[in-house]
Structure 1
Amino acid sequence: MARVRWLTTMMCGGFHGSRRRLTDGASSVVSALPTVLENPSPPKSSFNEKSYETKQYKKGLKAADTILKKFPDHGETLSMKGLTLNCMDRKSEAYELVRQGLKNDLKSHVCWHVYGLLYRSGREYREAIKCYRNALRINPDNIEILQDLSLLQVQMRDLAGFFETRQQLLSLKSNHRMNWIGFVVAHHLNSNALKAVEILKAYEGTLEDDFPPDNERCEHGEMLLYKISLLEEPGSIERALDELHKKEPKIVDKLAFKEQEVSLLVKLGCFEEGATLFKALLSMNPDNYGYYEGLHKCVELYYENGQYSPDQIEQLELLYNSLRQQYTWYSAVKRIPLDFLQGVRFREAAENYIRPFLTKGVPSLFTDLSPLYDHPGKVQVMLCHTVFQADILKELIIELEHAVRNSGQFPRRYIEMISLEQFLTTFVVEAFRMEECISLIFIYISCFVFSDKGI
């Protein structure tokens, strides 16, 4: 959708009811009117175009007043003066002047267009559309009015009307790329992606073989990526991948190219190639959580509910141990394992993750950890359907705070800070082989013996 918004912006020059957009839209109205000094006769006179476009509103008002002294009932000048006052936050006067100008010249498409711009600045979009349609009845082929109308039709979700308007703009100016893109977007919004692809192909057929030139390479590459997404949407995955490889030399955004390629590969079930590409993407941005999620899918260890079997947890732990060796200084490889680890392993990983952030005083740490409270086993340890008082995250934070407050440093061994009952309760849940259980209990007892002797 981000690419659709970019293309729509390129197509129409953006949409918003702000003063800046109003100025851009009104400049097309002013461009249809000559300056004061060229011809001061009532049917064609208006204030200086440059004063409005450069936001020199006081100068524009003086020029308008000069004309109105000679022709006080000139509708177009009254309307444009009202539009200028609207940009100076004198809205009540603006509406009064624009209505007076329209009353004096009901057959002027400029007056209706200005009235529509005034309504749009007040976010009264339906009334603005009515004014634009009245202006088009007088001047049906006015490009600027059609463009402004299409913007409001998208805003109001009038997709059928938007389609008709963009089709008319393409028929009037078929040599402009933005009109082709606009017609494509109109088909796409009307749920006809394959037809949109055909139109893009027709547009590419009008281009020269050496297109695009250097100054248009980025925009052309974005259009090609949009075309790939249109092929992907109805399920033509193989066709989209072939087209992507075919157009690779003309796509400037190589990162977007790789992301699109790996997305198509995963949908086709090419997990080995997908995993290789995701690892390449991780080398470019190791803090992108989406790449890790994609890598999980490629190694078939992704579940939306986050419920993993013990074997799957072991595999994920091995994967992140290897990734941690490559991306030691990045937080994502340390944070993501907290979502699937349990018990003692979770506590150890959580402490390793929390300590550096506490040392640096990162205020967003606890916001980052808050989703872990939705996972059973992260907060409390359960054994035989009995909940023991072992709130892992809570106790960990309290212990770290207590150690820093009393000794000014973090505890040397997190295992010394928990009771034997908590350790055994937590470990029985995590230990799957008796040999591991016996060896770790021995290590635990040894730690207490040595610590008592001051070693």
Structure 2
Amino acid sequence: MGASLPPKEANLFKLIVKSYETKQYKKGLKAADAILKKFPEHGETLSMKGLTLNCMDRKPEAYELVRLGLKNDLKSHVCWHVYGLLYRSDREYREAIKCYRNALRIDPDNIEILRDLSLLQAQMRDLGGFVETRQQLLTLKPNHRMNWIGFAVSHHLNSNASKAIDILEAYEGTLEDDYPPDNERCEHGEMLLYKISLLEECGSLEKALQELRKKEFKIVDKLSYKEEEVSLLVKLNRLEEGEKLYRVLLAMNPDNYRYYEGLQMCVGLHSKIGQYSPDEIDKLDALYKSLGQQYTWSSAVKRIPLDFLEDVKFRDAADNYVRPLLTKGVPSLFSDLSPLYDHPGKASILERLLLDLEESLKTTGGYPGRSEKEPPSTLLWTLFYLAQHYDRRGLYDIALAKIDEAMQHTPTVIDLYSVKSKILKHGGDFAAAAALADEARCMDLADRYSSTEEDDELAKLPASQKKKLRQKQRKAEARAKKEAEVKGEEANVGGVSKSGKRHVKPVDPDPHGEKLLQTEDPLMEAGKYLKLLQKHSSDFLETHLLSFEVNMRKQKILLALQALKQLQRLDAGKPDSHRCLLRFFHKVASRPAPATDDSLMHRAAVAEMSYCLEPNKKGEAIKLIEESPNNLVNGSLREWKLKDCVAVHKLLVSNFDDQDAALRWKSRCAGYFPYSSYFEGRHCSANRDSKQAHTENGSVEFLPSNGKVEKLEALKNLAI
């Protein structure tokens, strides 16, 4: 163990640990080799050397050395801890936890190991274990604020927010009144805000507001303080106070959309679905005009009205919004306005507006109604927007014409190539889209690493910043080179398992799926991928659309129904879900009758539902029942049961309302059940003079003079 080393080597071992922590790996290896030269079987040194090699991408040697070190010193918590760190680096978290627990059996109060264990327990959602470990850390170091907070967080994650509040309040009880000192004010303020959010989560809104205002002077983050306060005021329905505070927040940041939404809520003009009455629209319009006069530089105050304004007011507001953004050349303008395309009529208004701007820019060089000339780039960005607009509307020819015009105008703008690639892809030309995307990436790299521009910029920077910039560029170039090598290499690519053995994976021999298409059973292959999607992407509509398609082709009706139910659950209003529903019903309705005869009750159920769906085919439904065969079972007994035949007769009388069919059925069943009083079989009247009583199941009962019913022993076991 490390403590058993002589003083010189013990200091070298500390140097290994320090070098590992400071990422001076070569220095650490040199120190490890110096120890191993004298003590070649020292377990902890072998383990630390392995951990260092792991950081230098020498995994096979790392696992070998760490395991050898553990073998040489099984009772060393350092060796077990290092083994856990090695597993953690490969994301083998369960194995790492096992190693940490073994280390804690040897040194149960080791702070570092406990901290590492708690992190992995949270990662693996072992929340009960996470609580226990954080409690142990707090017990060992109760004077550290982070241990109190960590213990509170563990209970919060474990769905016990009230316990987390108690822990934080207990911690505050250990502090002096003048706490915190200046160097801890930020951290303490964040803890107080966290406690208040827990109170809010538990529903103690009034207490949370009181606590917030009581501790205001200890909270450094005044913006978060105001946001928490206004949230509590709105939830407490103190809307007038909330409105005032939201206006204060808007004065601090007039481009925060949440503040505008909160203000609308306080003045009673908020709608979750975004639909408003004409009167509400007028009030909202007046509100935002007033706010626009206060915050003339705000983009949000101009953009939000586009969501609720209509017709001429919408066009004027949109015109006012897009002009300065086209002048500035904002590439994300279309992404910003794309939600408006879901509002009926607004896409057409935007199209007409942008076309008018394009025409004016081409003819006069400026916007309509203005004498000032616009820079040439304004036309470029107008064409750029129109290309995306027509792409969204599915008019790919017009979209390509607009983007080509923009590229002729300024061929050096990379965004144009990216958008053209998307348009080609949406139009179905995947090869051209891929080629254009590659061209855009090449232009981007060339633009980033242009040596002339780089030298000009570097000349203006201080020496320290020049060094940092060059280091970043070298790393970026190395990364780009490595990616190119990975893409272009034809040799095998190796991976390393947790055991240190190298797995060799061949380069994909069928990158375009041509061989996959030649498979003898493509549906079976599709089923393999479908299972993966169902396991990992069960909440995606596309997964169940594929499942429905595959199972319909496989003639697996029940699995197709299962997929259909998932589609209805996720989005019943989706057109694809509706298509699948109709296809399923059509498939079931058109399926041929089974080769074997169904049971009587199956045929009766089919007949009943057929008549329910198509009342005009009543005769065919009854015929389906009447053609039911009563086959012999084991060569002696008939298949039908009396109670089923009675149920069918009642169905013909009540549901079908056909007395003739019911009479025919009764006559037929009387032959099968001669002792049945229900069907009046030929033996049902026997011994009437002896006061027989006939029951529905065909058995015969005698009524003696004392009134008690005694069953005829001779007929007890009679098969009917």
The answer to whether residue 303 in structure 2 is matched with residue 346 in structure 1 is no
The match for 2:350 is 393
| Matched letter for residue 82 of structure 1 | G
Determine the structure 1 residue equivalent to 2:602.
none
Question: Are the counterparts in 2 of residues 338 and 346 from structure 1 also a CA contact under 8 Å?
Answer: yes
The 1:359–1:37 alpha-carbon spacing in structure 2 relative to 1, beyond 3 Å, is: farther
Q: Which amino acid aligns with 1:173?
A: K
Give the distance between the partners of 2:175 and 2:7, measured in 1 at CA: 41
Q: CA-to-partner distance for each residue in 1:395-447, whole Å, 9 max, x for gaps?
A: 1111211211222111119xxxxxxxxxxxxxxxxxxxxxxxxxxxxxxxxxx
C-alpha distance in 2 between matches for 1:174 and 1:257 = 28
Q: Which amino acid aligns with 1:317?
A: D
Post-superposition offset of 1:47: 5.0
Q: For residues 343 and 148 of structure 1, do their structure 2 counterparts lie closer, same or farther at Cα, with a shift above 3 Å needed?
A: same
Which residue does 1:312 correspond to in 2?
280
Q: Given the alignment of the two structures, is residue 156 of structure 1 paired with residue 113 of structure 2, yes or no?
A: no
Shift of 1:394: 1.2
Structure 1 Cα separation of the partners of residues 242 and 213 of structure 2: 15
Measured in 1, the distance between the counterparts of 2:10 and 2:116 equals: 29
Q: 2:368 — aligned with what?
A: 411
Q: Match for residue 589 of structure 2?
A: none
- Asked if 2 retains the 8 angstrom alpha-carbon contact of 1:36 and 1:46, the reply is no
Matches within 5 A, 1:54-73: 54-73=22-41
Larger Rg: 2
1:219 aligns with one of 187, 208, 230: 187
Is the 8 Å Cα contact of residues 34 and 46 (structure 1) preserved in structure 2?
no
Task: Give the 3-state SS of the residue equivalent to 1:52 in structure 2.
Answer: helix
| 1:27-38 alignment, distance < 5 Å | 33=2, 38=7
Relative to 1, partners in 2 of residues 1:317 and 1:106: Cα closer, same or farther, differing over 3 Å? same
2:271 counterpart (300, 303, 314)? 303
1:372-391 matches, cutoff 5 A:
372-379=340-347, 391=348
CA distance in 2, matches of 1:98, 1:194: 44
On the 8 A contact 2:118/2:133 being kept in 1, the answer is yes
* Letter aligned with residue 235 of structure 1: G
Q: Distance in 1 between matches of 2:142 and 2:83?
A: 29
For residue 346 of structure 2, give the secondary structure of its aligned residue in structure 1: coil
Aligned mates of 1:46, 1:204 — CA distance in 2: 38
Q: Cα deviations across residues 210-237 of structure 1 (Å, max 9, x unaligned)?
A: 1000000000000000000000001110
Please say which of residues 257-266 and 191-200 is displaced more in the overlay.
191-200
For residue 76 of structure 2, the aligned residue among 82, 105, 108 is: 108
Post-superposition Cα deviations, 1:311-344, rounded to whole Å, max 9, x if no partner, equal 0000000000100000011111100000000011
Shift of 1:86: 1.0
Counterparts of 1:409 and 1:175, CA distance in 2: 69
Q: Residue deviations 1:121-166, cap 9 Å, x none?
A: 1111111111111111111111110000000111111111101110
Cα 1:58–1:397 change in 2 (3 A) is same
1:85 aligns with 2:42: no
User: Residues 368 and 127 (structure 1 numbering): CA distance in 2 closer, same or farther, change over 3 Å?
Assistant: same
Corresponding letter in the other structure for 1:368: D
Cross-structure match for 1:259: 227
Whole-Å separation in 1 of the counterparts to 2:9 and 2:349: 83
Match of 1:275 among 223, 240, 243: 243
Q: Work out the CA distance in 2 between the residues paired with 1:178 and 1:329.
A: 43
Structure 1 outlier segments of 4+, above 3 Å? 32-37, 39-42, 44-50
C-alpha contact (below 8 Å) 2:209/2:232 kept by paired residues: yes
1:249 maps to 2:206: no
1:365 and 2:333 aligned: yes
Instruction: State the superposition RMSD in angstroms.
Output: 1.8
* TM-score computed with the length of structure 2 as normaliser: 0.50
CA distance in 1, matches of 2:217, 2:29: 53
Q: By how many angstroms is 1:39 displaced?
A: 4.7
| 1:159 maps to amino acid | L
Closer, same or farther in 2 for the Cα pair 1:79/1:46, shift >3 Å? farther
Query: Do structure 1's residue 118 and structure 2's residue 75 form an aligned pair?
Result: no
Aligned to 2:9: 40
Where in structure 2 are the equivalents of 1:278-293 lying within 5 Å? 278-293=246-261
Select which of 163, 175, 179 maps to 1:195: 163
Paired residue secondary structure (1:98)? helix
Higher RCO (C-alpha under 8 Å, 6+ residues apart): 1
Deviation (angstroms), 1:107: 1.1
**Structure 1: distance between partners of 2:312 and 2:15:** 78
User: What secondary structure does 1:323 align onto?
Assistant: helix
**How far does the alpha carbon of each residue in 1:53-109 deviate from its partner, in whole angstroms, 9 at most, with x for none?**
332211211111111111111110000000111111111111111111111111111
- Cα contact 1:47–1:63 (8 A) shared by 2: yes
The answer (yes or no) to whether the contact 1:46–1:77 under 8 Å persists in 2 is no
Give the aligned residue type for 1:113: H
Given that residues 35 and 48 in structure 1 are in contact (C-alpha distance below 8 angstroms), is that contact kept between their aligned partners in structure 2? Answer: no
1:146 is the counterpart of 2:103: no
2:177 to 172, 190, 209: 209
CA distance in 2, matches of 1:219, 1:344: 52
Are 2:47 and 2:79, in contact at CA under 8 Å, matched by a contact in 1? yes
Deviation at 1:376, TM superposition (A): 2.3
Identity within the alignment, %? 75
Q: What is the CA–CA distance in structure 2 between the aligned matches of 1:100 and 1:33, rounded to whole Å? A: 16
- Once residues 194 and 338 of structure 2 are traced to their aligned partners in structure 1, the CA distance between those partners, rounded to angstroms, is 37
Match of 1:402 among 350, 359, 380: 359
Structure 2 portions without partners, runs of 5+: 371-720
Alpha-carbon distance in structure 1 between the residues aligned to 2:6 and 2:366 = 80
Q: How many angstroms does 1:369 deviate by?
A: 0.5
- The letter for the 2-side match of 1:38 is P
Residue 51 (structure 1) shift: 2.8
Distance 1:45 1:397 in 2: 71
Distance (Å, rounded) in 1 between the aligned partners of 2:230 and 2:6 = 62
- 1:243-268 per-position Cα deviation (integer Å, ceiling 9, x unaligned): 00111111111111000000000000
User: In 2, Cα distance between the equivalents of 1:248 and 1:46?
Assistant: 46
Q: How far off its partner does 1:34 sit?
A: 6.4
Q: 1:34–1:45: 8 Å Cα contact kept in structure 2?
A: no
Using a 3 Å threshold, how does the CA distance of structure 1 residues 222 and 292 change in structure 2: closer, same or farther?
Answer: same
SS of alignment partner, residue 330 of structure 1:
coil
The 1-side partners of 2:293 and 2:4 are apart by 70
